[in-house]
Structure 1
Amino acid sequence: MSDFAGKVVLVTGAAGGIGSVSADRFADAGATLVVTDRKGSQLGSAAEALRRRGVQVSSFECDLADEGAAVDLVEMIRVTHGRLDVIDHVIGATTGLGQDGIVTELDADLWDSFLAINARGAMLLAKHSIPLLFAAGGGAIVFTSAGLPGFGDDQAPAHSAGKVALETLARSIATPFRKQGIRCNCVAPGLVQTDAVSKAVPDTRKSVTSAQTMSYRLGLPEDIARAALFLASEKAAFINGAVLLVEGGNLIHESHTAAIHELRNAGLGCQDKGKS
């Protein structure tokens, strides 16, 4: 597959998890890559692994919530590659996931850090990179949101608030820049099996989430990477300002559906009688 041959693709959060898998998939599709993350040693290892595959890749360690770092990243892309065609903005707040919780117990500094990474960083990246997309004749931006923001949750209010802001930002980018050929969409994953999730999310919550998911499993980084590639490609040319749920059907059903399925599978009935 060479959907991105001749294209320069920026993948953030590429040191591990969803971001590293997304970088691999864009590489498979022929892209020239720029990878960035705050985790310098892990990012270097990920970039070197791509180079061993023959991928043309540049890496840049930075914290995108720092405007100066965002400016420097975009300038590096301009000088090194001369263009930018796609942004797959995967990076999100993971440090502190275990402390994000009920609002009455929420630390204000943790709240600020989640919004800085999940929303401010995306805004600064868009602010400084969109002119480079203009210069290439247009391009696609994909933000990684989450399945939770549209629903009440007592486990991740800070995380969810940042992701709601991210989705609003995506629509605010898609609206004014359509004539310049800029599309901006979001992938909204459910619970995905990454190292960060393994460390921060208890096994009991993973089990409950899996049982409530109509695909009967948690997500994989590959699931999210494939969705991002689709939204970034010409196959999605008429999709703009959208939020694509990639969560296995966890949020599509009534709250009691999974329990009824279990009862039915156990031979305990729960059939609706008399319905034609």
Structure 2
Amino acid sequence: MSNDDHYGGGDVGGTGQTRTRLPDSPSDPYGTPRRTPRASRGLVTVVGVVVLLVAAIAFANQSSDSSGGDTASDKPPTTTSTAPTGTAPVTTKSAGIPKGFAHDEQGAQSAAANFAVALGSDGMLKKDVRHALVDGIYTAEAAAQRKGTQDTAYSPAFLATLGLDPNGNAPQGNTFVTRAVPVGTHIESYTPTTAKVSVWYTGLVGMSGAKSTTPVRTTWKTWTFELTWAGEDWKVVSDTQQDGPAPVPGDVAASSSDDISKAVQEFGGFTYAR
């Protein structure tokens, strides 16, 4: 910037008077004002860049939220990956099992999570309830195969190892706890007629009671369901389980058997929707 630019030319106020500019010195009263515009201009430039950057980020986020091209399985987890998504949860049940799941990826994930809860409940210990659950969750062909196999697995001898009688009942004064609590779901594959969904869940299993030799403990497993769209809803064709992923145990002290029994009775479960 020249002196003429800074002072508006050789004349001051158009009077014809001429101002003589002395050389700069440390005590020059005009020195600091002359350099200030450069600093101000630099500050304005920085602020402008920051504003443009924030605007660009906001625009990018808005564009990403409004686009519908990618499915949830195509994107890495985000800070909102555990928040409910757009499909509304089911509003009806059959034999205690939610039904009427959406015919899309979200519906398949919701179905798998709720199936894990039902199949991990204490209803599976009682033959009549177990058959109703299996009939409501599996296809007719798969249910017919499962019921015989499960009746053999839940034999009186097996139930006795859990501390239960042949009908799946706990001794008086005791509460048998078995729950599956989904932590998250993942679409392995999807078509409009089939889906493979994995459910990562933590389980509670054991006998709560003063004399129990099998106290309630936690498990961590992944339950994978092969689903098919049949009869206007998702049904299970086959399923498998594997251990983990399991986190490092926390340092919270175990509660008493009375507290566990009370919690199981007071705290109900959820209908899970993705």
TM-score (norm 1): 0.22
The structure carrying a bigger helix percent of its residues is: 1
- TM-score normalised to the size of structure 2? 0.22
**Larger radius of gyration, structure 1 or 2?**
2
